[in-house]
Amino acid sequence: MTVTRCVSVISSFVMESLEKQLICPICLEMFTKPVVILPCQHNLCRNGSTVTSGGRFRCPSCRHEVVLDRHGVYGLQRNLLVENIIDMYKQGSTSLSTEPVVEVKPEQPMCEEHEDEKINIYCVTCSAPTCSLCKVFGAHKDCEVAPLNDVFNKQKAELADCVSMLVGNNERIQAIVSQLEETCRAVDNGRRQKSKVCETFDHLFALLEEKKSEMTVRINAEQEEKLDYIRGLRRKYTEHLDGTAKLLETAIQTMDESEMALFLQVNLNAARPVIMEGSDTSHLDKVQHGYENMDHFTADFEHQGRALSNIDFIKRKQRLH
């Protein structure tokens, strides 16, 4: 019975202290869901914050200016931690209100060793409440004691400090969580930077492909032009060679003629101009020395290669300038 009563008193005090931490600074009543957290880490009921006009307002707790996005108060993040505390507070209030009447009566607990004696002092040495007889004759006669009321007020104040510290610590943790979430969103922007880098390289690849196509077209054009000229010249020389081959064959056959009369029937005076014409190649073009050389299409990409090798991100100092 004694322990139950102490727990009941402590629970009531804790609930009372907790309730003070759960008051909305706008509606001056306990927070109602949904509870939103401001950039300054103070909390408001969303229903209470809808009374603000325009796209900005000041926090009623610290006067920090809050700028809303296009979603208004619905764009503010919900504070699930405070909402959970509200649920636990309501459950605790319900359990306290449903306790039997006998548990909440201001009865003075009795000493277990001396049933007729009320507990009226506190043993500081043993950290336990006791009665005067226990101090005089009983187990606590050599212990240090203090008035029950003094110890009660002291421990109640310490518990209140602990509750306030716990609530404040939870708010700090919630602020850290919000900051980490914001950091995650900032780091996630790296995806956009990665996309920009890929787009830039794709553009460079396209420029290189375009330049390669342009330069190879120029080489191919001159190559085809020279090949066409050389093929035509080879065809002319081949035709000339075929003509002189026939003339040579006739001349050899004539020389093989042993019959003088038949040999002299050949009109050499008429054949001589034909032979001279077959021996003359002055009318045929000749390929100049070095005509086949394509070295003038040599390109020096060393500078461009160094530039590509030095591609890197802009250093922080360069961005600041």
Per-residue H/E/C for 99-118: CCHHHHCCCCCECCCCCCCE
Q: How confident is the model at residue 4 (pLDDT cuts 50, 70, 90)?
A: very low
Rounded to an integer, what distance in angstroms lies between the CA atom of residue 90 and that of residue 92?
Answer: 5
Residue with tokens 């010249």: 233
What length is written for the chain?
Answer: 321
| 178-207 residues labelled b (16+ CB within 10 A) or e (exposed) | beeeeeeeeeeeeeeeeeeeeeeeeeeeee
In the block, residue with structure tokens 């108060």: 73
Q: Where are the beta strands (DSSP E) in the chain?
A: 35-37, 43-45, 56-58, 65-67, 77-78, 121-123, 128-130, 145-147
pLDDT in tens, 267-313: 666 566 667 777 777 778 888 888 888 888 888 889 999 999 999 88
For 2-107, give the CATH class: alpha beta
In this structure, of 106-115, 127-136, 172-181, 290-299, the range with the lowest mean pLDDT score is 106-115
pLDDT recorded at residue 27: 66
Quick check: 37 and 46 in contact, CB under 8 A? no
How far is Cα 66 from Cα 55, in angstroms, rounded to an integer? 8
Query: Tokens representing 195?
Result: 């996309």
How much is the average pLDDT of 224-252? Answer: 85
- pLDDT tops 70 at residue 252: yes
pLDDT of residue 284: 81
CA end-to-end span of the chain: 75
Q: Tokens in use for 117?
A: 């004696």
Domain ranges of the chain: 2-107, 191-320
From 102, 28, 40, select the one nearest 65 (Cα to Cα).
40
Instruction: Please tell me the predicted confidence (pLDDT) of residue 199.
Output: 94
pLDDT for res 228: 92
β-bridge mates for residue 122, sequence order: 129, 146
CA angle 294, 300, 302 (to 5 degrees): 155
**φ/ψ (deg, to 5) at 291:** -60, -35
Tell me the β-bridge partners of 147: 121
